[in-house]
Amino acid sequence: MRENDEELNKIIEKKARELLRGASNDVVELSEDDFDEFIRSRKVVVVDFWAPWCAPCFLLEPIIKALAREMPCVGFGRLNTQQWPEVAAKYGVMSLPTVIIFRDGEPIDFVVGVVPKKILENKIKKVLNEN
């Protein structure tokens, strides 16, 4: 019986860690290795394609972070296109910043350049409400 208690405790601890990780909706720094898994991790995912030399990208970053806090049901990630150009090329990213909104792992909508928070928020909500 004691062995079962240990096993049960391990399962409970693992679940608690998963729930805590899901409780905060931080923007995830993505790589080529975890990109595909991430865009399939939730129904709707938003990915910001950026580069360190891109000044407008830094203007968009706080908008993405604010939306991540306000929209916990949506996954938010950032991909450094300088480090991972193959991923950017796969999705036809030609200008920075580019934000792609994915649903069920597929690109549904996108925004090129820095836009007001409300515009990006409305595009995400539109994708959330489409079934």
Contact 106, 59 (CB under 8 A): no
Dihedral sign (CA 47, 64, 56, 130): positive
* 57 assigned to active site: yes
Percent of residues in the chain assigned helix, strand, coil, to nearest 5: 45, 20, 30
Neighbours of 35 (CB within 10 A): 18
Catalytic residue among 30, 39, 44, 57: 57
* 73 assigned to active site: no
Catalytic residue among 25, 40, 51, 54: 54
Catalytic residue numbers, as ranges: 54, 57
